[in-house]
Every structure is written in structure tokens, then in C-alpha cells.
A and B are shown apart, each in its own frame.
Chain A
């Protein structure tokens, strides 16, 4: 038996288990060391200098970057440490705007919180704030670099967990900033709007773009009928904003509160989660029977969709064409509500409440906008809902229980678990076990639950073994997608959710550090599922009624394809392009889009070949050659006057001549 290793924190003996640093040990010992730049799920950075502790014989060190060793004697609250922490805070505040009363992060701001904790009463340094422009180009997020304290949490979150790197440090010394590549607007970068950067931002430098005012205006407008859909993960997190622990199901209280502020109909995204299962499982079976593209990826997560569109456009056919539950609900509202309310669609306001910032972007996708009218008008996050209720003077926890409206508020347990990683897969299995396997009572598939970034499972249905994967975190999704590109992927169906633990860990949820609260919310959803009388999507009779009434009777009909499915588009990582020859504006535009993946295989030679041929044929003056870079995993895409052409110099010249 190995001996226990211990060290001493403020005189108390503490056992070292597998903590990665002294900071975590201190927290285990019940002492919350202040820090900005330490996040349990990210690499250790050691930049903010708040987590200082004194180690006997070694002096003062940052506890986040010091590994525990047996026998260390650590002090966490000496006069000197208190003084140093306070001074560090003063220095940070000296270059911070200090306009807390107007800041959207106020009362949820870690800078504020720690300034109070360390007892800042005056700031002895000159106040000098950088004048940096606010970037509000994104539908989901607002970036205010003047409020940035350079802790790097967003940079590491984006690169390490999401595998993207849309924001990074730039410049040096006192000019350092966190910024997108070339200072471009967020909306024009590879950012997928997952918002995890904002979830770990300790200040107001990255915030969720609020839609509260527009939403309230419509709710207060007597001419308008307001219809709300609420995603599963919202109900197990919102009570945290009102002082309750994570994981409590507040569905009925949310309904009561929304009705109280004047919302006309409160429905549940779980309804279309069930519909998604019916539609998506039908698609899966159709692919199986008709030699369709495999593996199939799920399509519920809008951040994953934009990630795939940006990094893996060659896999877009692998993604289920089903809209996300939010997207399906958008369509159902437009079909069903005019009949139910007697109002015209222009007077019906569709509002969704989501745990997610990327859903704001999803609602504005071209596919969901018809004749300038969006199917979904406003998307609020859980945080915004809490704020909106508070602004109306409503305390959620004091609400009586009110039931969801019917029929679009009917749901099964399978819909509820959409909000947690593995949930969509489990819901599919509940459907498939019965419909393909003929197994009646298969409900819980616990092998797809858990917190591992990539989980595998197998299920045997009707004599065939299906290999499944459940992935959360886009860096993990990227690994699996690369396997598909490389032809080494062994799965049949892959569920992807961008955020840690799935939607319960969405960036629109109340801020929660690490996985502890997220896991409690996940458990809350599993509990809610257990309490459902119906637990399989195929048991949701309202779904079939809606199919009957509005979508020609069932899944995979023409009407279902029109309204419940969508299309994806390849997106460049950036809008930068290299203009190779400056010619007249009416010249034929020849675009060579070179992919990162194929560049290693010499695809850039295409540039030389095309250019030589154009010169050879004397077409320089009539063509405008533009080179763009950045479609990973795709063949080079060559377009002439907007039309795709085979990536061969001769074909390009032929196409140019054809246009002329």
C-alpha cells in the first residue's frame, strides 16, 4: 500500500490526490483562491497573478502554475499576499473602463467580484483606458476590447476546446489586445458563435448580444401574438439565477412567469426535438436502404454546423439534413399558429429561449428567412430570460406552476434529454430499437451517457451492429470529422454538440466554471426524463397530429422536406482574397479556392497552370483571377463567373471562353 501524500495549507494537512496544481488543492481544502486566468478545463496560463500563495522556503508563487508536492507548507492569506493581490487588482482596474453601472456584465462580473473580495477601496494608479472600437458585428456576441484584462481564457477556450482559434493575442507589451485575425469583424471570421469565449470571460469584454428590448416591445404590443418555444437545457439552469442549485426543473414556473409578462403561448422545443427524432431516424433508415452517405452526423447544434461548413465542407452531405429542433419549431409556428390564433403570420412573433448563443445566428440563416421575414423573430438565452424576468420584477422561484400550452407543448422524455451530450443519440436509439429492432421496452441506453469528449457505443438492431459515437467540444468533433475525411472512421452515426456537456453547458446558460454545475444540470434532465410518462419520441401523438395537419401526413413527405429540412453552405474562414491581376470590373471572375488539406498535395500548382493558360490564350484583360485560401478537406473549388469548373487549367480557359 502506498503512503498517502500530504501537504499543509494554512496549517491544515491536506491529501494530494490527482490535483494538477496547488490552487485546486486549496479549493479542495475549502479555500477559494481568487483567479481570472485559471479555468479547470483549459491549460494553465499563470498570467493574472491573483492566485499568489506563500510556500515556506520558496517564497510567493502563483498557485495555479505550481504543482503540489508532499510536505509543502502553504499560506494563503498572509498580510503580504493580501497586499499583493490588492495591488494587482488596482493595476488591472487602472486600465479598466470602470463604467460598471452601464455594463451588461455588471453583478455577474468576476472583476467586480474579486475587487470586492480582495478589498480594493482606492485605485492609486492613474486611470487610463484604451480607446478601442466595440465589435458588434456578430448576431451572438459583442466584443469590447477596452474591458479586456488579457487573461487569455477566451483564446485558450477557442483554440483548445473548440479547435478554432478565432481570437488570439496580437501586438506586444502595453499594446497587447485579444483580437480576431487581422482585426476583422467577428461575423467575418471562422467564429462559430458558440459563445464559450464569453462564458469564460471574467469581464464584459465578451458578452452575449442581448435581444431583451426588442422582445419586450413585441410582448407589450397588443397587436402581436407572441409564441415562445423553450429549449430543454433552459429549465434546469435558469433557477440558478434566482439562487437555487443547478438541476431543478423549472418548466412550469417559466411558463407562469412568461404568461405573467404577457406572452400568449408558451410551448416547448422538446416537441420538435421529438419531431427531429422521427424525421432524422427516418432519414437514417432511408440512407441505409438507399446506399446514402455514411457516417451520418446529427444536425441539432448550430455551432457544429457552422464549424463543419467552415472546416469540413466536403462532409456536408454526411450531416443530417434535418433542421435543428429550434429550426423545426420555427416552421411549425408559421404553419400552425395562424390557424390556432386566427392571426396572420405577420402579427405572430416567434420567440425562442435557448441555452445557446449560436441559436441567434441560426435563426438568421438564409434558409430560415423567406421574403425578408424570419421564421423566428427573437432568440433569447437563459441569461437574458432571467434578466428580462428580473426587469419585470418577477422572481421565478415564487411562481406557481402553470402547464405548457398544447398541442405544441407536448413532449416525451426523449425530447428532454436533447439538452445533454449523448441525449440525441439515446433518443434516436429509443426510436430505432423499436422501429428497426422490434424491441418494445428499450428506454435507457446508459453507455452513450457520460462526460468523455468522444464516447463510443455499439447497438445491435435486427441483426446488424451499428457503431455510434457521441462527441462534445468541437476540437473533438474535428478529430472525428478528420477520420471521416481520411476514410478511417468506423462509426455509422455521430452526435455532435459544441459545448462542454452539450446544451446544458451552453454559453447562454448562467455562468458556471468547470463541469460541476453542468453535470448537475445534465442529471436534472435525466431526472425529468424519468418522470415523463412517455419516454420515446414515437409516443408523442401531437407530433403525428402536426404531421397529419401540416406536413402531408408523415416524415419524409414533400412538405416535411420543404419545411423541416435545410441545406448547408461551404463557408470560407475569411473573406480575404488575393487579386492576381487588376482588370476591368466587367472581366470574367475566375476564383481558385485552394484547400488547406490539398495544399500539401501540390494543389497550388493549379494557380500557375491556370495563369499560364490564360496568358497563352491572351485572356488576361478579360479575366479577373482571384485566389482564396481555406477550405479544409475539400477539393480545390474553381469557379468561373460563379459556376464551378473542374480544377484543370484547360477547363478553366474553356469556361472563360464560353462566358465571353
Chain B
């Protein structure tokens, strides 16, 4: 199967899913936020073409969808890596040393505040204000997996483990 065909299939499957999400939510503009949440699960971010699709399907201005999508930190307008590393920088995690972990991870992956995603679209690093797991501080969440009582060394090993699993 050529590369082109692969893109076709995924682009097409994804837009089919958007259609299902719209239908499931009754194409109600009052359901805009849940719709965007589900769309983001499909694409791992909100492509503007798809936001425009959602706007037209709900019969609302595209500017309103854009306004909602840019208001909430949960929504991303940039593609994110396959592994979304969210590092808690809330009060508890901060005093227990989240900053050295963040620095170590960024150095390991060559990332900065301005460039949160690796070029190979494998990793994205974000900080969040609190994950509600202060008892485990400092906390790092990778996609859905919670890693408590992190240290810079443990964080780097975690990344190495992911890379190893990917390469094998």
C-alpha cells in the first residue's frame, strides 16, 4: 500500500468519525464543547478545516468555534505528539521539585516553551496547574498513565522506555 493511500484512508476515516460525533450530539450548537472534545480525541488537536466543518454543520460562525477552541487550555490548535507528557507545576509539585524534571525532559527531547513538540511528532511536553494528585507530587502524566514521585532521572528513564518500546 502506497503512502498516498494510507493518508487517504486515515483522512477519510477521521472525517467519518467527525460526522458521527456531530450526529451523536444532534448537531446542536449548545453541544459545541463536547463535540470539540471528541473531535480532539480523533485528531489529537483541532485542525482549523475541521473546526470550520463543525461550524457549518452546527450553523454557527466559524469565529465562535475558534473563540471557544482558543479559550480553553484543554483544546490545542497545534498537532501534538503521540505521547503527551503533562507535568504538574501546581503548588505541591512545584515545591517538591517539578522544575528540575521539566528542565531534564526538555533537555532530553530538545524542546522549549515555544517548541513543545518534537519534530518526529512523538512527544509533546506541557505543564498543567494541578492534576489533583498532590499526594504523589511531583506528578507526570503521559497520555492516560500517571507517574508519581518523579525525579529528573526517573523522567528520563521513562522517555527512554517509551523510545525503546517504539523501536522494538
Contacts and interface: CB of A to CB of B under 8 A. Distances in A.
B62 A581 contact: no
Interface residues of A, number: 42
B61 interface: yes
A165 B8 contact: no
Given A580-B12, A627-B15, A166 B48 contact: no
Interface string B111-150: 0000000000000000000000000000000000000000
Interface in A600-624: 600, 604, 607-608, 611, 615, 620-621
B61 A164 contact: yes
A574 interface: yes
A600 B15 contact: no
* Central interface residue in B49, B52, B59, B65, by most chain A CB within 10 Å: B52
Contacts of B5: 620
Interface string A478-492: 000000000000000
A166 B67 CA distance: 11
Interface string A504-540: 0000000000000000000000000000000000000
Nearest to B61: A165
A577 B49 contact: yes
Interface in A343-371: none
Band of interface residues on B: 20 to 34
B70 A181 contact: no
B157 interface: no
A169 B8 CA distance: 35
Contact of A168 (B7, B51, B61): B61
A181 B63 contact: yes
A82 B88 CA distance: 44
A336 to B, nearest CB: 43
Given A172-B70, A581-B4, A611 B61 contact: no
A629 B59 CA distance: 11
Contact of A169 (B12, B16, B65, B67): B67
B8 A181 contact: no
Contact of A170 (B16, B52, B71): B71
A576 B49 contact: yes
Contact of A599 (B7, B50, B57, B70): B57
B56 A165 contact: no
Contacts of A599: 27, 56-57
B113 to A, nearest CB: 14
Contacts of A630: 52, 55-56
Contacts of B55: 181, 629-630
B64 interface: yes
Contact of A165 (B51, B64, B70, B71): B64
Nearest to A176: B71
A171 interface: yes
B61 A159 contact: yes
Interface in B17-31: 19, 27
A607 B61 CA distance: 23
B66 A168 contact: yes
Contacts of A583: 4
Interface in B37-80: 48-53, 55-57, 59-67, 70-73
Given A182-B62, A620-B5, 20 more contacts: A159-B61, A166-B63, A168-B66, A169-B71, A170-B70, A172-B73, A180-B63, A181-B51, A573-B56, A578-B15, A581-B4, A582-B7, A594-B56, A595-B56, A599-B27, A615-B8, A620-B8, A629-B52, A629-B57, A630-B52
15 contacts: A166-B61, A167-B63, A168-B61, A170-B67, A172-B73, A181-B62, A574-B62, A578-B11, A580-B8, A581-B7, A582-B7, A611-B12, A615-B8, A620-B5, A629-B52
Interface of A: 159, 164-172, 179-182, 189-190, 573-574, 576-583, 594-596, 599-600, 604, 607-608, 611, 615, 620-621, 627, 629-630, 632
